[in-house]
């Protein structure tokens, strides 16, 4: 049973605070192991990567066979059904269209003092994308990571995907091909992250690494951060649905379960202004759990971390949503637009009963890599900007330096940074001579 809360109860605040603070994930401490793997790859390069792949993935490779050849990629792609291929292509087209609008503009202007100022955006030169192997090897994640990188203009995009016992997911290779990925390596774990960050004989180093992974991958990403850029370290997935009584309880139940089925640590929350509707949704969840393929996982998540919260009105729902700062927020209410304007801390918002969250996972267009664990308070989903950086530009004319230079000199002196002040003063003196 999930917990049932009523926001008008006197002890609601305590229960809600407990829900916010609940620790849903116990990451094993693999930091020492990962440190050793990274040092080994830095020291021995390909030899270390190949040994570790033989050990962890039971797969004997060479520096040559570590990378999928174009012919192999074609062979695997040919195994994908026409329906799946068409779905991936539609998804890629829609994701590309959405992300193309994120390309930022350069600016340059000259101000009153005569200073020309501005900035210029440029792409990261090379990026690496980690794709988990096995069950969590999602082709949709390949699209969601690779397309923003290519839209940003990343010239070289490499994927690492482990293939334990040699098992390959053809859809992952097709997604990589559709997204325009340049290199695909069949290696995984901390050794793949180390190879991407530091390079080996066979794998050139990259500047930025993104993509989800297990505890070893996450620990390796944290360790190489600084040497390369990384995306966020994602936690278990979450959804908050705000729904009024004019919804089909079964639809809402399926939306809650589509988070719950990801992971036993996932969290599905419902806020409604109608207690009877909340109970109807919970009953619909139980009914669906009788037959759902992943009922063991989804059932555990719903039992341990699910909640149904009844509120007095939708104002209160928005206020609670902002405290939760959910990764996914579904607004199944009569006027979702106006409610969405009140929900300012959320990774992605899905408006109206015909926008199930699953649309956003695959084909809506926005990215499905989103901030978890309340981090939507301060961070955003993956975007084109994650694969670009901004260089600021400033150019003074002699007159501009004459107008503002003395103030810089004054502040430099107040900070006891004499050379800073002198570098301005030397030029000002020349102007005064002229």
Q: Catalytic amino acids? A: 327-328
Smallest distance, its own copies to C-beta of residue 377, A: 4
Decide: is 392 part of the binding site for its own copies (CB under 8 A): yes
DSSP H or E run through 3: strand 3-6
Smallest distance, its own copies to C-beta of residue 366, A: 4
Is 138 known as a binding-site position? Answer: no
Is 322 known as a binding-site position? Answer: no
Site for its own copies in 189-228 (CB under 8 A): 207-208, 226, 228
Is 345 known as a binding-site position? Answer: no
Decide: is 62 part of the binding site for its own copies (CB under 8 A): no
Smallest distance, its own copies to C-beta of residue 60, A: 29
Which residue carries 């994650």 as its tokens?
Answer: 386
Which window, 69-77, 177-185, 308-316, 380-388, contacts its own copies (CB under 8 A)? Answer: 380-388
7-10 long-range contacts, CB within 8 A, separation 24+? 7/309, 7/310, 7/311, 7/312, 7/316, 7/320, 8/310, 8/312
Q: Coil, strand, or helix at residue 44?
A: helix
Which window, 30-38, 41-49, 192-200, 403-411, contacts its own copies (CB under 8 A)? Answer: 403-411
Residue 180, exposed/middle/buried by CB under 10 A (0-12, 13-18, 19+)? Answer: middle
Site for its own copies in 113-132 (CB under 8 A): 113, 115-117, 119, 122, 124-125
Contacting residue, 237, 265, 321, 383, with its own copies by CB under 8 A:
383
- Number of residues written out for the chain: 434
Q: Give a three-class secondary structure readout of 369-430.
A: CCCCCCHHHCCCCCCHHHHEEEEEEEECCHHHHHHHHHHHHHHHHHCCCHHHHHHHHHHHHH
Decide: is 77 part of the binding site for its own copies (CB under 8 A): no
Report helix, strand and coil shares of the chain as percent, to nearest 5.
Answer: 50, 15, 35
Which residues, listed in sequence order, are joined to residue 242 by a DSSP beta bridge? 271, 331
Nearer of residues 185 and 387 to its own copies, judged by Cβ: 387
Contacting residue, 426, 432, 433, 434, with its own copies by CB under 8 A:
426
Q: How many residues bind its own copies (CB under 8 A)?
A: 122
Contacting residue, 49, 135, 150, 236, with its own copies by CB under 8 A:
135
Is 423 known as a binding-site position? Answer: no
Is 361 known as a binding-site position? Answer: yes
Compute CA 338 distance to the chain's CA centroid, rounded to the nearest angstrom: 27
Smallest distance, its own copies to C-beta of residue 96, A: 12
Which residues, listed in sequence order, are joined to residue 268 by a DSSP beta bridge? 239
Site for its own copies in 156-175 (CB under 8 A): 171
Is 43 known as a binding-site position? Answer: no
Contacting residue, 242, 360, 384, 433, with its own copies by CB under 8 A:
360
Site for its own copies in 243-302 (CB under 8 A): 248, 250-251, 254-255, 257-258, 260-262, 288, 292-294, 298
Decide: is 397 part of the binding site for its own copies (CB under 8 A): yes
Alpha helix (H) residue ranges in 45-117: 46-57, 70-77, 82-100
Pairing of strands 328-332, 238-243: parallel
DSSP H or E run through 139: helix 139-152
Site for its own copies in 316-355 (CB under 8 A): 336-337, 340, 343-355
Nearest in space to 232 (alpha carbons), one of 327, 152, 137: 327
Nearer of residues 78 and 407 to its own copies, judged by Cβ: 407
Is 259 known as a binding-site position? Answer: yes
Binding-site positions for substrate: 237, 259, 262, 328, 361, 415, 420
Binding-site sequence positions for Zn(2+)? 259, 262, 361, 420
């Amino acid at each position: 049973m999930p917990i049932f809360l009523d926001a008008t109860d006197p002890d609601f605040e305590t229960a809600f605070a407990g829900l916010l603070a609940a620790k849903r994930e116990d990451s094993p401490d693999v930091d020492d192991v990962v440190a050793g793997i990274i040092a080994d790859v830095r020291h021995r390069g390909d030899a270390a990567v190949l040994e570790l792949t033989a050990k962890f993935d039971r797969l004997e490779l060479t520096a040559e066979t570590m990378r999928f050849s174009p012919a192999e990629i074609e062979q695997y792609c040919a195994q994908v059904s026409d329906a799946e291929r068409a779905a991936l292509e539609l998804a890629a087209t829609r994701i590309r269209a959405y992300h193309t609008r994120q390309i930022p503009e350069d600016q340059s202007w000259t101000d009153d003092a005569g200073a020309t100022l501005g900035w210029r955006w440029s792409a990261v030169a090379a990026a690496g994308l980690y794709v988990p192997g096995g069950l969590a090897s999602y082709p949709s994640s390949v699209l969601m990571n690779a397309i923003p990188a290519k839209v940003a203009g990343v010239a070289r995009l490499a994927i690492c995907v482990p293939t334990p016992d040699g098992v390959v997911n053809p859809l992952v290779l097709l997604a990589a091909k559709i997204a325009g990925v340049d290199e695909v390596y069949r290696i995984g774990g901390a050794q793949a992250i180390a190879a991407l960050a530091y390079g080996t004989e066979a794998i050139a180093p990259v500047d930025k690494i993104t993509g989800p992974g297990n505890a070893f991958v996450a620990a390796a990403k944290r360790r190489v951060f600084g040497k390369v850029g990384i995306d966020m370290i994602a936690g278990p997935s979450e959804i908050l649905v705000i729904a009024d009584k004019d919804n089909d309880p079964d639809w809402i139940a399926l939306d809650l379960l589509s988070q719950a089925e990801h992971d036993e640590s996932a969290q599905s929350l419902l806020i409604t202004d109608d207690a009877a509707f909340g109970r109807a949704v919970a009953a619909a969840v139980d009914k669906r759990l009788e037959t759902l393929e992943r009922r063991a996982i989804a059932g555990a998540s719903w039992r341990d971390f699910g909640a149904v919260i009844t509120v007095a009105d939708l104002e209160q729902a928005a206020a609670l949503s902002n405290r939760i700062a959910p990764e996914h927020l579904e607004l199944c209410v009569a006027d979702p637009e106006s409610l969405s304007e009140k929900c300012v801390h959320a990774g992605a918002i899905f408006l109206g009963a015909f926008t199930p969250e699953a649309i956003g996972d695959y084909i809506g267009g926005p990215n499905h890599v989103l901030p978890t664990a309340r981090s939507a308070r301060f961070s955003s989903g993956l975007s084109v900007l994650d694969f670009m950086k901004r260089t600021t530009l400033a150019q003074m004319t002699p007159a501009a330096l004459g107008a503002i230079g003395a103030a810089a000199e004054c502040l430099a002196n107040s900070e006891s940074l004499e050379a800073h002040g002198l570098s301005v003063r030397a030029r000002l003196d020349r102007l005064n001579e002229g």
